[in-house]
Amino acid sequence: MLTTAFVTTILASSAFAASADQWQNRSIYQLVTDRFATPDGSSPSCDTSQRQYCGGTWKGIVNKLDYIQNMGFDAIWISPVVANVEGNTSYGEAFHGYWTQDINSLNSHFGSADDLKALSSALHKRGMYLMVDVVVNHMAGTSDPPNFSSFQPFSSQSDFHAECFVSNYDNQTEVEQCWLGDKNVPLVDVNTEDADIVKTMNTWISTLVSNYNVDGVRIDTVKHVRKDFWPDFAKSAGVFTIGEVLHNETDYVSAYTQVLDSVLDYPTWFPLVAAFQTTGGNLSALAATVQQAQSSYKKGEFMTGSFLENHDQPRFPSLTQDQALIENAMTWPFVQDGVPIMYYGQEQSYAGGPDPANREALWLSGYVEDKPLLKQVKALNAARKAAISANSNFLNTGAKFLSTGSESSMAVSKPPMLALLTNGGSSSTPSWTVPDAGYQANEELIDVLSCKMVTADANGGVNVQGSGGSPQVLVPTSALSKSGSTCAEDATGGQASAARGWVERAAESVPIVAALLLAGWAAQSSLVIL
Ligand code: ABC
Ligand code: CA
């Protein structure tokens, strides 16, 4: 008999090696490996201001996958995995993983090669994906000039660009060929113009992906390497690539959507923060940026990584304490065209300021699941999955901004989902008058965040009065399953198909798995359990 265990074994032993398309319906939990979970479940103190290793490991992550998956995430993005500078520097230890010393060894603080393989198989067993952060642009020195012979495999001065620190970000050659960091911790700029170095980097990424069954890579400092380096690198990786291009202009960033599968949506992040960090922030500037990206990026906004927080920026609740503004801003990435990415700790209302304060240890929260923002995130992930199941074209339907009758509110339409946002703040009573919502006449809708019902009017429009400045995310009651975990009482939809979905996708991505499944199937005439 073809058992679940049999299927699980096959899936666990193979990489999903996922393509961009396969990532599109995912929802990603970004974590800082050193700060997420300890291997033995202990809770050591972790003073972020000290910038020291606090004890999180890959094994720790494996033990806490239930916590991540229960929130509805089906992929994780972990810190860079390669060996870093050891010991203390003026900016502490390399606990974040971005100070590469040797690209061919792993960072032993995070565990062994077997531990990293165990992490990817544990994820694959659950139908989840692994994204690894990688740095090509630089290696880190601990003195000026750096000790070039300490780097591997590029160990001579000629493997790097000549020393000069990036200061003028408007000079692209300088951005690409000068060094990041400073004289204390110079980020020594790899000579990515050299053909041998390019070859080594391409072989390295291909080996890393296959050794550890990686499903996607987040690429650091993408704008600091010439654009035409990236297509071959991405091809060598052979999986989904998403690049960090830290810039606020869509025009600048769009060029990178031509050379990688995707970019982190930084141009939208700037106006997103501005729109919700105070009452009366500019919502139309936010919508305008999205529309620019929709028309200028290679695949519109569809593949971009949509986020509110990350390890480089102050956490959003450090900018405002208004809970309603926080709820609205947190909703944004889940109701857009892009792939939602949530930074660990958002669900626990962490509020650390700029680096290094924004890298708190998650174990200090006790991983408590009964928290308002955690429940909100869970509902948002569920609503997005429901919308994906209900409309087979959801992932290719661009978000539209509909008129709401109020300057402090916004309606984002991605049928069958309608997100109603406001930056009126906790003491406001928001209302949204959306005549063009596009529902059926008198259709029954539900706000997944409160499980309150809303009925569309005779023309399919909605007229909603909210409370306490909270956002609402409407979907038809028919899109939610009666046996699901989201607003099940009023849901009218059938059994969710999501549970089977991942097995099918896995089979698509690994033809051999499909073949084995079929072979097993044919050989067994008895009942098949899946
Ligand atoms: C360490 C300490 C910090 C200390 C710093 C001097 O040294 O921890 O407390 O302040 C890693 C570590 C960091 C570490 C750095 C440097 O290395 O995580 O903790 O800081 O040693 C990526 C990663 C990031 C990582 C690195 C380096 C790169 O996500 O975690 O940092 O591997 C630039 C890069 C960007 C990079 C970022 C940190 O620096 O482009 O790839 N992130 C302007 C520039 C940006 C620049 C940014 C910050 O400033 O244009 O290129 O990012 O310096 C907007 C403009 C933007 C402008 C922003 C500020 O304003 O549109 O262009 O960005 O309006
Ligand atoms: Ca460079």
Ligand 1 lined by 218 (C-beta under 6 Å): no
Cα dihedral sign, 64-66-71-73: positive
Closest residue by CA, ligand 1 atom 11: 98
Average pLDDT, the chain: 92
Give the confidence band of 14 by pLDDT, cuts at 50, 70, 90. low
In this structure, how many other beta carbons lie within 10 angstroms of the beta carbon of residue 14? 17
Supply the pTM of this predicted model: 0.93
In this structure, how many other beta carbons lie within 10 angstroms of the beta carbon of residue 364? 16
Of the ligands numbered here, which is closest to the C-alpha atom of 192? Answer: 2
pLDDT at residue 501 in the model: 36
Of the ligands numbered here, which is closest to the C-alpha atom of 221? Answer: 1
- Is residue 247 marked as binding? no
Burial of 347 (C-beta count, 10 Å sphere; 0-12/13-18/19+): buried
Give the confidence band of 15 by pLDDT, cuts at 50, 70, 90. low
Residues 277-281: contacts with CB within 8 Å, 24+ apart? 277/316, 277/319, 277/320, 277/325, 277/329, 278/320, 278/325, 278/423, 279/322, 279/325, 279/408, 279/423, 279/424, 279/425, 279/428, 280/408, 280/423, 281/423
For range 68-89, the mean pLDDT: 98
Best residue for ligand 1 mutational test, from 189, 253, 355 (most atoms within 8 Å of Cβ): 355
List pLDDT tens digits, range 264-313: 999 999 999 999 999 999 999 999 999 999 999 999 999 999 999 999 99
pLDDT at residue 17 in the model: 77
Give the confidence band of 504 by pLDDT, cuts at 50, 70, 90. very low
For range 190-201, the mean pLDDT: 98
pLDDT at residue 49 tops 90: yes
**Nearest CA to 84 among 155, 146, 32, 150?**
150
Ligand 1 lined by 356 (C-beta under 6 Å): yes
| DSSP E strand boundaries for 211-302 | 216-219, 240-243, 262-263, 298-301
pLDDT at residue 494 in the model: 85
Which has the minimum average pLDDT: 29-43, 67-81, 513-527? Answer: 513-527
Closest residue by CA, ligand 1 atom 32: 98
Give the confidence band of 78 by pLDDT, cuts at 50, 70, 90. very high
pLDDT at residue 502 tops 80: no
For range 433-440, the mean pLDDT: 97
Residues making up the chain, counted from first to last: 530
- Is residue 432 marked as binding? no
pLDDT at residue 5 in the model: 47
List pLDDT tens digits, range 399-410: 999 999 999 999
Centroid of ligand 2 to alpha carbon of 37 (angstroms): 33
Which has the minimum average pLDDT: 367-371, 450-454, 507-511? Answer: 507-511
List pLDDT tens digits, range 322-376: 999 999 999 999 999 999 999 999 999 999 999 999 999 999 999 999 999 999 9
**How far is 478 from 480, CA to CA, in rounded Å?**
5
Centroid of ligand 2 to alpha carbon of 284 (angstroms): 35
Ligand 1 lined by 188 (C-beta under 6 Å): no
pLDDT at residue 506 in the model: 43
